[in-house]
Amino acid sequence: MTDTGETIHGGGPAIASPAGVYDYWLGGTANSRADRDAAERIRRAVPEISQIAWANRGFLTRAVTWMAERGIRQFIDIGAGFPTQRTTHEVAGAVAGDCRVVYTDNDPLVVARGRGMLAGVPGAAVIEADIRDPDVLFGHPATRQLLDLAQPAGLLMVAVTQFVPDEDDPWGLVARHVDQLAPGSYLALSAPTADHKVESTVNRVVGEYASTTAGGNWPRTGDEIKRYFDGLEFETPYSGAEPGLTYVGLWGCDDPEVADDDASRWFYAGVARKPRAVRF
């Protein structure tokens, strides 16, 4: 796919955006000078940061493929950011050509770039919506046109909840999104953790994100991340494992010994199914 955000890449905003920083680590072109500078400062604190970004992107790819292979034909990608690598509609479309995707982001520049990228692409749309206001997403005309929320959907929250502070109740926000979905839908979520990490390194990364358009970054413990899946039924992350949360590189992997590395352990990930209502 060819990105049409040359103005962002060539000059762009003076403040880095998480979307642009992420895209830079993935080797994309949808990033500004500010994004690249911030990305390199974070790399000095965490040299394996590109591998971490790719571990997250790999999780998204495997989770979308897994859901599409099980009959999911509609997806909602929250805080998509529009990296130019392995977009959700391309991954889902490789399994089934009738998949539909609604992307969201709260950054107007990212949304504008995404609309340029999706021009002429059937079954995909990007809307400006913040994770803090699910009503905007689910009430949007593009969502209503593309998706049938009476049918199961795949909800993707990959590397996004860390931008919501505790006082905004990210757990409640995830639940409000899931509540809008039909039984049989899936939540695929990954989130960064400070578990077993050097505090000074974590603080340097958090401090850098405080100067981006996100305004902050809040890594959480495994138990806190597991709470996002309350009321849902965890899927098995890989052969031989128990259903539940795992490190991001392990979910859907073929060889756990190869996939379990230091980069993968910066993020937890899981996929869980919304159960069908019990009838008495």
CATH ID of 52-196+217-273, from 3.40.50.360, 3.40.50.150, 3.30.470.10, 3.90.1210.10? 3.40.50.150
The dihedral built from the CA positions of residue 135, 139, 143 and 149, taken in this order, carries a sign that is positive
Q: Could you tell me which residue, 120 or 65, shows the higher pLDDT?
A: 65
> Sorting pLDDT into bands at 50, 70 and 90, what band is 72?
very high
Tokens of 98: 């009738």
Contact assessment for residue 77 and residue 156, using Cβ atoms and an 8 Å cutoff: yes
How open is the CA angle 64-166-244, to the nearest 5 degrees? 40
Of the given ranges (17-21, 76-80, 136-140, 191-195), which has the lowest mean pLDDT? 17-21
pLDDT of residue 31: 87
Q: List residues bridging with 267 in a β-sheet.
A: 192
Residues 6+ apart with CB under 8 A from 202: 194, 219
Q: Could you tell me which residue, 178 or 81, shows the higher pLDDT?
A: 178
Contact assessment for residue 145 and residue 123, using Cβ atoms and an 8 Å cutoff: no
Domain boundaries, the chain: 52-196+217-273
> Sorting pLDDT into bands at 50, 70 and 90, what band is 13?
low
Q: State yes or no: pLDDT of 175 exceeds 50.
A: yes
pLDDT of residue 214: 87
- Return mean pLDDT, the chain: 91
Tokens of 200: 């000074």
pLDDT of residue 4: 35
Residue listed under structure tokens 């400062």 = 41
Residue listed under structure tokens 């073929």 = 254
pLDDT tens digits, one per residue of 201-249: 999 999 999 988 888 899 999 999 999 999 999 999 999 999 999 999 9
pLDDT tens digits, one per residue of 22-62: 999 999 888 889 999 999 999 999 999 999 999 999 999 99
Tokens of 225: 């991340």
Contact assessment for residue 74 and residue 154, using Cβ atoms and an 8 Å cutoff: yes
